[in-house]
Amino acid sequence: MATHATPEHHARVAALTFAGVYPHYVAKVVKKGRSEAELLEVIQWLTGYTQADLESNAICSFKQEFEGNIEYEIWHCKEAGGISERLVFPRMENHTAKEFVLKLFYYKWNSWVSEFKYEPDGAGCYFEIEHSENQTAIDVYCGC
């Protein structure tokens, strides 16, 4: 069996949305003599999502926890809307968080509008740094 486990393949798969692959699932099950209703029943059974969740794009969210108390979360990723992300780290100094934002997310049209906000002048990606007693979070919103 051939493998497509290249970095480019992984990036392409990671960028897929449920809405993008769902028609392919439907085509496959119909070709095999099953119905879309049966597919939905299996998806709901596997994921625990309700019909309302599936219809509202509520399934378009992801959260991953990493070693060292680091978390990554993405949500509100509807096809035509914006995307929200949150990166959570152990508490760090604000200047370190700002350096992190600039290294990972530098946009020539963004500027620091406050000590904690890095924003464009118009549509684009917005960044906000939040500190709590034990954590530093970087919130990202990209959209119009």
- Verify that 114 and 89 share a domain, yes or no: yes
The answer to whether residues 27 and 33 touch, using CB atoms and an 8 Å cutoff, is no
What's the pLDDT tens digit per position in 91-138? 999 999 999 998 888 878 888 999 999 888 877 788 999 999 999 999
| pTM assigned to the model | 0.57
- Verify that 45 and 102 share a domain, yes or no: no
What's the pLDDT tens digit per position in 16-41? 566 667 778 888 888 889 998 888 88
- Verify that 81 and 133 share a domain, yes or no: yes
Does any domain span residue 2? no
- Verify that 113 and 68 share a domain, yes or no: yes
Q: How far apart are CA 103 and CA 63, in angstroms?
A: 22
- Verify that 73 and 32 share a domain, yes or no: no
Domain hosting 96: range is 62-143
Per-residue pLDDT for 2 more than 60?
A: no
